Amino acid sequence: MKILVTGGCGFIGTNFIRMMLRKHPDWQIVNLDKLTYAGNRLNLLDLEQDEPRYSFVQGDICDRELCMEIMADPHLDAVVNFAAESHVDRSINDPSPFVTTNIQGAQNLMECARQNGISRFVHVSTDEVYGTLGPEGKFTECTPLAPNSPYSASKASADMMARAYFETYGMPMVVTRCSNNYGPYQFPEKLIPLIYLRAKADQPLPVYGDGMNVRDWIWVEDHCLGVELSLLKGRDGQAYNFGGDAEETNLDVVRTILSILGKPESLITFVKDRPGHDLRYAMDFKLAAEELGFAPTIGFRDGLVKTIEWYENHADWLDQVQSGAYRNFMNQWYEDRT
């Protein structure tokens, strides 16, 4: 099988490409990535150098000519779209790139896949399209979409477009909706790597609001497994939920990181809340369990220990991704919150 993976130099895409090439000796992967601030070509440099089944194209999923050219390859079987602007806080500062990449870019890929008769399209979405839960209940695939941030609104728009491509053109389309991922290669603007980095440096750890917001955390390779199963066995036109069965308050996540690192809880600093901050996400993934055989493989604390081990062993990676622009963004972001 030959697959076009978009956004493969980001957090989840990197893990997905590594895992799929490891598991499937007969798969070939083309990675199309624009290399925004969140994309790092060095993540997969060893594959570029030594793995003939992997190739990299730097480019934008909004570029019609380029995407048409890549998808004209008669050997290409499938597209998996990870490419996105992915950070909620950045979407609050400026929604425009989210509309461009997450909606227009996704539609451009769908259109190119349609015109080239690609036999499978997996669009990677998020639990955030469902909006927020109160203290009880879980999101199912039948929960109405009710996004609250510019990020989740852009992802929900692309989900609707995917649905339309299936209903209107019969395009073989599957949408995956997953909860919060953690693991190797996550960019240190998201909660877990950010807290790790700041705790290591004995800096204050910003917890939004009262820290009682709840996320369901999934080990990144378990999400990759869900995407793989959707690609191989998903029903056309269906959306599938994936989760880690690991609901945690943000405060508990931060405390667990501190306990693993042996750092004091006095570093915790409550800061201004995120506007429109969703209270709770929780996933019912019965459909994926029944139809695809999906189950998460690792509990939250074990996964967190593995994640921290990875960051400890990849200090060079962390240095590399902390560009001047990153430091400026983070300084401004911290100032705005305190």
User: Any idea what DSSP says for residue 119?
Assistant: S
Whether the Cβ atoms of residue 225 and residue 187 lie closer than 8 Å to each other: no
The site for ligand NAD, by CB under 6 A, has a size of 30
Q: Does 86 bind ligand NAD (CB under 6 A)?
A: yes
Which contiguous run of DSSP H or E holds residue 214? strand 214-219
Known active-site residue 240? no
Among ligand NAD, ligand TYD, none, residue 9 binds (CB under 5-8 Å by kind): ligand NAD
Q: Could you tell me the CA-to-CA distances from 244 to 50, 247, 297 in Å, in that order?
A: 33, 8, 8
Radius of gyration of the chain (CA): 19
Q: What span, in angstroms and rounded, lies between the C-alpha atoms of 296 and 317?
A: 27
Known active-site residue 128? yes
| Among 176, 213, 230, 256, interactor with ligand TYD by CB under 6 A | 213
| Among 3, 4, 5, 9, interactor with ligand NAD by CB under 6 A | 9
| Among 5, 13, 76, 166, interactor with ligand NAD by CB under 6 A | 13
Among ligand TYD, ligand NAD, none, residue 206 binds (CB under 5-8 Å by kind): ligand TYD
* Interface segment toward ligand NAD; rule CB under 6 A; list 7-15, 18-26, 206-214, 267-275: 7-15
Q: What span, in angstroms and rounded, lies between the C-alpha atoms of 139 and 284?
A: 6
Min dist CB 59 to ligand NAD, Å, is 7
Catalytic residue among 130, 151, 185, 311: 151
Q: What is the dihedral of CA 322, 326, 331, 334, to 10 degrees?
A: -100
Min dist CB 281 to ligand TYD, Å, is 7
Sheet with 180-182: list strands edge to edge.
180-182, 214-219, 247-249
Provide the binding-site residues for ligand TYD, judged by CB under 6 A.
88, 180, 190-191, 194, 206-208, 213, 215, 250, 274
The set of catalytic residues is 127-128, 151
